Amino acid sequence: MRILVLCTGNSCRSQMAEGYLRHLAGGRAEVYSAGIEAHGLNPRAVAVMAEDGIDISGHRSELLDAYHDLPFDHVITVCDSARERCPWFPSTAEQHHRDFPDPAKATGSEEEIRTAFKEVRDEIKAWCREFILHILPS
């Protein structure tokens, strides 16, 4: 089974979702992430994922075009912008959508920004857990 997670910049939300989906699938699925744009991997996303035991430091920010030849079973959009800008995906994949807040847009002190990243991380983790339970029941 192949899963693609799409976001606007492939720097935070889709990267976190890819990390959790890979971990939770336990090798039962190939998981990729991409963006409509490639903004580079956000170091705060890497840090908050590491705090939860998931290493995404080796991920790369990819454009959607990098995967146009791969057949996917599931395509997940994790922000409204990606869903609106890429409403049609050239595949027979089942499409899923959940709009998560963009932690990269958080403002305030460093502590407030880290808190925003952790909150989004935790929302993504919970959603990914339910998704995996639904599509890959044990």
Indicate which residues carry an active-site annotation: 7, 79, 86
Place of tokens 């799409």: 6
Cβ atoms within 10 Å of 52's Cβ, excluding its own:
14
Beta-strand pair 2-7/94-97: unpaired
Q: Which residues is 4 bridged to in the sheet? A: 32, 75
